[in-house]
Structure 1
Amino acid sequence: MRAFLAVIPPEEVVDELVSFLGPRRDALAPQGRWRWTRPEHLHLTLAFLPELEEWREEVLIEAASAWAERAAPLALSLAGAGAFPDPGSARVLWAAVAGSGGASLASWAKSLRAVASHAGARVDGTRFSPHLTLARSVGRPGPAGHLLQALDTLATSAWCAQEVHLVRSFLGQGPGGTPRYEVRHTWELTGPPGS
């Protein structure tokens, strides 16, 4: 199965993002140039698992449960925007994780990638960059400087990330050919503060 481990922002933060993006997207993004992330798909990926054999899922759940018992909840917020690979030839527009939350997410990502690998999952080795994907280019990459200027003022309320989710992705099975996501497991983070 194709899956990922992620933090999903609370509904209030998703609503803030949608309200912020709406007028900017409509005014600045050419019709059909960008495929914007559906609100219910907004998440912060910690580990992408392009191939998780179904029989290994229980092993992963058990191993990540031990990690969740040691990991403490984390205060997060989003502020500013960027593009991959760069603003002049953008394939992805993203919201940045503000402050020290990005460093903490990087630590979570490193740990969870190791947990998943030890559980026998194939883990994508792309360098971790804490972000939330806002849109993907349709077709070839293109300039996005004007969009990034408009998105640079993005700043959400802070929230406490108290859960990490294992999400299965079904490519092309959602509305308009988008993926369909299914949360397979949720871990409550119960570690002591500062862990």
Structure 2
Amino acid sequence: MTMRLFVAVVPPAAVLDALDVFVEPRRDADPELRWQSRETWHLTLAFFGDVRDDRVDALADALDDVRVDPFRLVLDGAGAFPNPAAGRVLYRGVTDGSAQLSALSRRVRTAADRVGVPSDNAKHLPHLTVARRRQPGELTRWLRIVDSFPPAAFEVTAFHLVRSQLRRSGAQHEVLRTVASGTRPASE
């Protein structure tokens, strides 16, 4: 058996609540966009895909040893993957804290590699996905709208090992382990 796993920073409830208030009236404005649910908003540090059950504890233990030095992060701006003219992913960008988030991502990936759980090795571009399209399409209008949302600042003090289960209604996330600054966490 396997579990689909990733490691992420989850913004605090106040930031998620504000973003949800901004997104809610737009959810039905474009049938091509599937707005992500509040429960799935996160900033990915590493994606592992399907990890064998017998490797999950080793991965969680390795992550416990990754140091989390608290830092300020600001969600601001908007972007689209792979580009605005043929975008499939619409996201909030990261201004302050981008370098620290990328450094944390490298430490997480290195810890996972040491216990035989490779990540996707994608270049880390800090972002929070807010919507997706099934087919590539023009997202320039939506970039301007998402960019108009006020910046949201918070302190990163922890990251999470998350199990993602894909369902017809969308992904369902379950936190398996939280690693916080200054403490060696116990399993949840």
Q: Normalising to structure 2: TM-score of the pair?
A: 0.90
Amino acid corresponding to residue 168 of structure 1 in structure 2 = R
Query: Once superposed, which parts of structure 1, at least 4 consecutive aligned residues long, lie more than 6 Å away?
Result: none
Q: How does 1:1-195 map to 2 (within 5 A)?
A: 1-26=3-28, 29-31=29-31, 33-68=32-67, 71-99=68-96, 101-138=97-134, 140-172=135-167, 176-190=168-182
1:2–1:52 CA contact under 8 A, matched in 2: yes
Closer, same or farther in 2 for the Cα pair 1:25/1:178, shift >3 Å?
A: closer
Amino acid corresponding to residue 150 of structure 2 in structure 1 = A
Unaligned segments of structure 1, at least 5 residues: none
Q: CA deviation at 1:25?
A: 4.6
Amino acid corresponding to residue 7 of structure 2 in structure 1 = L
More strand by share: 2
Amino acid corresponding to residue 155 of structure 1 in structure 2 = P
Aligned length, in residue pairs: 181
Report the Cα distance in structure 2 between the residues aligned to 1:155 and 1:79, rounded to whole angstroms: 7
2:162–2:174 CA contact under 8 A, matched in 1: yes
Secondary structure of 1:77 counterpart: strand
The alignment-based identity, stated in percent, is 38
Q: CA deviation at 1:122?
A: 2.8
2:76–2:152 CA contact under 8 A, matched in 1: no
Report the Cα distance in structure 1 between the residues aligned to 2:151 and 2:157, rounded to whole angstroms: 17
2:4–2:50 CA contact under 8 A, matched in 1: yes
1:79–1:153 CA contact under 8 A, matched in 2: no
Q: Normalising to structure 1: TM-score of the pair?
A: 0.87
Unaligned segments of structure 2, at least 5 residues: 184-188
Report the Cα distance in structure 2 between the residues aligned to 1:51 and 1:119, rounded to whole angstroms: 15
